[in-house]
Structure 1
């Protein structure tokens, strides 16, 4: 539509007119939006203020503090319980470590005692070996590891194992000592039985007890009792062996003599009638070495009638031996000699029909059968 106004023609559009009519309505809508937004903001602000007021209100604040205090107290209670549990665990660990340290200290002391005892055992073993006594068992050398300091990393099973090892070692050593004592006792009894068979009774203390060895119940770890028993047995054996070495039981011509004439009545080779033969004769060639049947002191060395060149030795306990018809004498009167030491050479001097050695054993000046001594010497040769 065209409108003329004041000589100006204006073209009007209905949409423009319609738009112009709509502007007031839009303005009302914007105002309402702003009013609504403000109300919401005012409501939120009011709620915030109300919340702060409630929070800082004495009643509400006290209630919240009460809940927080209860929760905090529960946590503190739990923490205290955990700390007590940790302390108990630490105390138990410290107690266990203390027990282990005490056990290790006791083990160290046991090892020190075992080392001292072993020196005694070693001395007894060496003594027995020097005497010629061999035990079926040998005392175990203790494994001395030096100073054992308590180790935190060692467990209870370690200390138990070490204690068991020491106990086993002591038990084996004890059994070895008993075996050594038994060996010495058996040897002593064997010697005494042999000497008694030829009428000798050495002065050796008799104990009169015996039986298999069973460790005492509840006994301590000391092996001194068994070691002392070994010492006593060795002392008895030493006495018996001393008597044995003084007994004329060695063959005067070992390995080369053949018995040609025994002790007692026989036909005299010169008179061809019965006569008493006071010794035994060994058929040997002239110049065969003649040895002392036992240790002693030479009381005669020279020519003695029908004995020819003769040596007589006093062995103590009223026993003497004579070696006759020798071609050469190698000792002098008053000389001390050992058993098995050479006294001269065989021959055929004096009243003799040929080279041989006449050997006599006398007790209290009376001749006794030497063959019994020679037989005993063969039986006890391992102790000579």
Structure 2
């Protein structure tokens, strides 16, 4: 009985040992973990197509975004290329226009030089266009490759400004001198036949101006300068026909004026019809203006006389001469020798008696001589 009790106690101890081997909480935890893993696996298997579709959609969006960006970049590149082509076209067009302007300017520069030479011959000192600028322009126009547009444009602009300045200076000076001659001679009753200035418009529809080679500002300036020079030359030629120049070579004293004076022979008052210049006998007498010798001989009281008829309608008379140089019918110019000073006729000593006559009536020669001095001073 004691043995059976002993075996019974040992069996109970062994059963307790077995029960202590696997804890129930651990067992149930492992079972729950296994169950959860199986559930997740099943869920993943069930949702795999949706996840794939979601991931595929995001990839499509990224690709579409990149494709849109690439398209935008292509448009931007095309726009930049188009701008570069346009700029290149503008530069080529500018170069072509500058080249044409260079050719025209070089030709017109020669025209301006011709105008300057003509003005110089007429006594007008004009601004001479710079030969250095013309040479630089020729060098730029003949250079290989495309020249610097800005530098070429600057050279062209400088040349245009200088050319315009030269032509404007010529026209202004010529017009002022012409006006001075016309004004002085007009006071003496002498009218000059001058070329008409450029025609002025008097009516018609108002239309926009057309830029052509014939109507360019530079051509207009050149035409204006040429017109002014032609008018000035005509005024100068008319001046040569007016008896406003000294009739005797040298600086001689005026001994008697025009008008009433004390007669050197009678002592009474008498009319003196000209100017007297005291000068030694034999001094050369010259024509006071261009014309034709209309009389050579003696006149009562005047002694030996030479008369010159001028296209202005005036006649100049040179009296008390000692000798004749010109002959009747001879064409003479201003300053042409026609006689020599003497004391023939009603004279108390050697001197030149000078008269200006219109319609056979004597005029005071003094305003003519003074006008001539002012004109010559103006002309330099």
TM over 0.5, shorter chain: yes
Residue 93 of structure 1, CA deviation = 5.6
Residue 381 of structure 1, CA deviation = 1.4
Q: Confirm or deny: 8 A CA contact 1:108 1:148 kept in the other structure.
A: no
Deviation track 1:298-349 (CA, whole Å, cap 9, x = no partner) reads 0112222321111100112220101111111111000001101111210111
Whole-angstrom distance in 1 between the partners of 2:251 and 2:223 = 44
Residue 363 of structure 1, CA deviation = 1.0
C-alpha RMSD over aligned residues = 3.3
Q: Confirm or deny: 8 A CA contact 1:322 1:360 kept in the other structure.
A: yes
Whole-angstrom distance in 1 between the partners of 2:177 and 2:234 = 12
Equivalent residues in 2 for 1:1-384 (5 A)?
Answer: 96-135=87-126, 137-141=127-131, 143=134, 144-145=137-138, 147-148=141-142, 151=145, 158-204=148-194, 222-382=217-377, 383=379
- Unpaired runs of 5+ residues, structure 2, are 1-62, 200-208
2:231 aligns to what SS in structure 1? helix
Partner of 2:204: none
Q: Confirm or deny: 8 A CA contact 2:321 2:341 kept in the other structure.
A: yes
Residue 284 of structure 1, CA deviation = 0.7
Residue 169 of structure 1, CA deviation = 1.6
Query: How many pairs were matched up?
Result: 299
Q: Confirm or deny: 8 A CA contact 1:292 1:338 kept in the other structure.
A: yes
Whole-angstrom distance in 2 between the partners of 1:279 and 1:116 = 55
Deviation track 1:31-60 (CA, whole Å, cap 9, x = no partner) reads xxxxxxxxxxxxxxxxxxxxxxxxxxxxxx
Residue 224 of structure 1, CA deviation = 0.6
Whole-angstrom distance in 1 between the partners of 2:79 and 2:245 = 81
Cα gap change, 1:138/1:248 in structure 2, threshold over 3 Å: closer, same or farther? same
Whole-angstrom distance in 1 between the partners of 2:138 and 2:310 = 53
- Unpaired runs of 5+ residues, structure 1, are 1-72, 210-216
Residue 101 of structure 1, CA deviation = 3.1
Whole-angstrom distance in 2 between the partners of 1:219 and 1:257 = 60
Q: Confirm or deny: 8 A CA contact 2:195 2:234 kept in the other structure.
A: no
Residue 271 of structure 1, CA deviation = 2.4
Whole-angstrom distance in 2 between the partners of 1:149 and 1:90 = 29
Q: Confirm or deny: 8 A CA contact 1:198 1:372 kept in the other structure.
A: yes
Q: TM-score, normalised by structure 1?
A: 0.69
2:138 aligns to what SS in structure 1? coil
Cα gap change, 1:255/1:219 in structure 2, threshold over 3 Å: closer, same or farther? farther
1:115 aligns to what SS in structure 2? helix
Q: TM-score, normalised by structure 2?
A: 0.70
